[in-house]
Amino acid sequence: MRRVLALWLKQLPLDRRARLGDDRLSGPFAIVAEIRNALRLTHLTEAAVQAGLTPGLSLTDARAICPALLTEPADPAREEALLRALHRWADSLSPVVGLDPPDGLILEITGCAHLFGGEEAMATAALSRLEDLQILARAGIADTKGASRALARFAPGPVAIAAPGGVREALGDLPLAALGLPAALTGALRRTGLQTIGQLYDIRAADLARRFGLELTTALQRALGFTPDPVVAAQAEPVYAARATLPEPIGHLTDLEGVLARLAASVCARLEAAGAGARRFHLTVRCVDTGDHRLSVGFARPTAAPDAVVQQFRAPLDKLTIGFGADGFRLVADLVEPLHPRQRRLDRVAEIDQSWTDLVSTLGNRLGHDRVRLFRPADSHLPEREYTTVEAMTQASDPVWTRAPRLRPVRLYDPPEPLRVEAPGRPPLSFEWRRTRYETAAAEGPERLAAEWWRGGDRRLRDYWRVQTRAGPRLWLVHYPGREAAGWHVAGWLP
């Protein structure tokens, strides 16, 4: 008889933080998400529950009840990544494993349970292994996917098992929410006085469908096994990784780079065969005396070039304290994206773009990816608002408008620096700025700008002048019409 095991990872967002060693989990802590136009609690620690908080409570009310509450926004992307990692882990239990997002796994265990000593022993072993991974879970086993899912989430105890052919009796006392229906439909059923799944057995399917729609009858028929509901095995995402274990520890930088070069060649060959590249690589170095050291490098553009990977890892490896040597290495490609080859052109644009991305990657790996930023145009005619900055690692190429000759400086003095006028004029014929005297050789302007009335801030008119001084520097001067001569300022330094 067909049997299905459902695993419910009830605290997956909190477990992800626990695996990272988050100290906040020892006190009142909660994960929040925007639900019904408000930030609400979704997952709580035991200390938060003891303080009187419950899931679904708005963040405002929760802070009023427990002022010491610490929170963090939900991160569905990372939680999905952890769920997919557990999906690969579950291959050790069954060859057919499906995803039940956002926090569940479904396993087809027909013919597998005897390998663990029975269904109860198999479920207990699965929960024990998950506990070793710092993952809290509950298990349910039944003849159908819907029934096993309902038992895992709503039956008492960590393991709930329905006897073969006993799905109807096992689901009878469970609440209607165990069918996985939308909240609106579940509320409509409760308003009619229905509370448990067993109360639906005595009502004809035609009457339920006429009153509540086919969604209710379909879910009930699937849970009871009258409608096929197979476990669809989710395809595990490919892992581009390579591992090397050495018989003797090594410690010289050249030896480390040699091992890394072999690992990079293996990983990049698989990436190239898949027509993909990675924007981040992780290298784990296992030292015999200090344990594992995790090094990471990023790229501004997906790459599958082994030489580029080795080059970016040179600086982190040089700073690594090896001690008595390292004997284990593992290289993993992360953030894998399709590669889009570009045809070479006579103007060498592709080579220039490649040099630019190599520079951004090198600077980001040495200074921090968040510290390497690019100027991007913004929708405003005012100099201080016509651009913004973004992380260079998130951009595919250098902004085109920074390469063309510009009439305005990209970097501005905020606020503009005052100067002392010596010979009046428009612009001044001579002036002193930063204890240096300048004389005007040529000037262009004025460029008059009015304030953006729909925004706040400075609402004065301003005139900008491009001034070529006899000493060499080209300055961008600003003057506010209607003000005295002392109203001249230096707004920027022209290229």
Distances 396 to 100, 300, 308, 353, 393 between C-alpha atoms, Å: 34, 7, 17, 9, 8
What stretch(es) of the chain map to CATH 3.30.70.270? 1-27+68-237
pLDDT of residue 402: 45
Q: Which CATH superfamily includes the segment(s) 241-338? A: DNA polymerase, Y-family, little finger domain (3.30.1490.100)
Cis peptide before 415 (omega within 30 of 0): yes
Q: Could you identify the residue written with the tokens 């004025």? A: 446
Q: Could you identify the residue written with the tokens 């005052």? A: 418
pLDDT of residue 447: 87
pLDDT of residue 382: 79
pLDDT of residue 1: 79
pLDDT of residue 127: 95
Q: To 10 degrees, the CA torsion angle through 64, 65, 69, 75? A: -80
Spans of the chain, pLDDT less than 70: 341-356, 394-406, 410, 457, 483-486
Helix (H/G/I), strand (E/B), else coil: 255:
helix
Q: Which CATH superfamily includes the segment(s) 1-27+68-237? A: Reverse transcriptase/Diguanylate cyclase domain (3.30.70.270)
pLDDT of residue 319: 87
pLDDT of residue 354: 64
* Residue 236, number of CB atoms within 10 A of its CB: 14
CB 7 within 8 A of CB 136: no
Give, as one character, the DSSP assignment of residue 277: E
For the whole model, what pTM was predicted?
Answer: 0.64
Largest CA distance in the chain: 100
CA angle 340, 344, 350 (to 5 degrees): 70
pLDDT of residue 493: 86
pLDDT of residue 481: 82
| Cα–Cα distance for residue pair 434/493, rounded to 1 Å | 13
Pair of tokens at residue 367: 């200074």
Of the candidates 172, 138, 167, the residue with the CA atom closest to the CA atom of residue 152? 138
What stretch(es) of the chain map to CATH 3.30.1490.100? 241-338
Calculate helix-pair angle for 214-224, 183-191, nearest 10 degrees. 90
